[in-house]
Chain A
Amino acid sequence: DQQVKQNSPSLSVQEGRISILNCDYTNSMFDYFLWYKKYPAEGPTFLISISSIKDKNEDGRFTVFLNKSAKHLSLHIVPSQPGDSAVYFCAASGIKGAGNTGKLIFGQGTTLQVKP
């Protein structure tokens, strides 16, 4: 049972255009969402996150949008650059509190290719 899903295995965009990566989740108890970026032969690196009390978080060229009613989040990259070509994972975690161990549930990943 995949609780976090990235239904697009790959995405190709032109340099300078917007990249939109999507992620859906099924568990309404998730309250924090993260995006990780992964280059080949490297470990994932944290990119941006959003709490369930917000619907948008922005960091430079990267913006994450959260639609709780639809259980959907998206990552927008504007403008896209060739160096953004990587695999992007969304991840979700549960409600904070005693006993929370910070466990993350990951989606399958989307491979983004930005063409020069």
Chain B
Amino acid sequence: NAGVTQTPKFRILKIGQSMTLQCTQDMNHNYMYWYRQDPGMGLKLIYYSVGAGITDKGEVPNGYNVSRSTTEDFPLRLELAAPSQTSVYFCASSYPQTDTQYFGPGTRLTVL
């Protein structure tokens, strides 16, 4: 079991570029989440999904998009990167009706 995997580990983008952060889980979890963590701050929820084909906004969704075509994958898309999106991004997954989320190792993104 690999758990939750994220790629890439690091990325530097120029302002206005786009990219997709990949997230895959092999635990057959229905629920998946994307968070960002800024220095000295907690994790803020960007988007979440309760199953394939179902996504919804979290606390800080502006500038991001998601899709969920399979149970395993939950990619996060940045269309027009801005310096304010410099952060560490974590993907997580869980079973329905439980609170214990399992996190990936994170992607450190810098927008210059």
Contact = CB atoms under 8 A, between A and B. Distances in A.
Interface of A: 4, 6, 9, 32, 34, 36, 41-46, 49, 89, 93, 96, 100-104, 106-109
A96 B50 CA distance: 15
B99 A32 contact: yes
**Majority-rule SS of A interface residues:** loop
15 contacts: A4-B42, A32-B99, A34-B99, A36-B103, A41-B105, A42-B105, A43-B4, A46-B101, A102-B96, A103-B58, A104-B45, A104-B99, A108-B40, A108-B41, A109-B41
Most central of A34, A96, A102, A107 by chain B CB within 10 Å: A102
B74 interface: no
A36 B92 CA distance: 13
Interface residues of B, number: 28
Contacts of A45: 103
Closest 5 CB pairs of A and B: A43-B103, A106-B42, A106-B43, A108-B42, A93-B99
B1 interface: no
B3 to A, nearest CB: 9
A34 B92 CA distance: 15
Contact of A43 (B44, B58, B90): B90
Most central of A32, A100, A104, A108 by chain B CB within 10 Å: A104
Contacts of A9: 40
Contacts of A49: 99-100
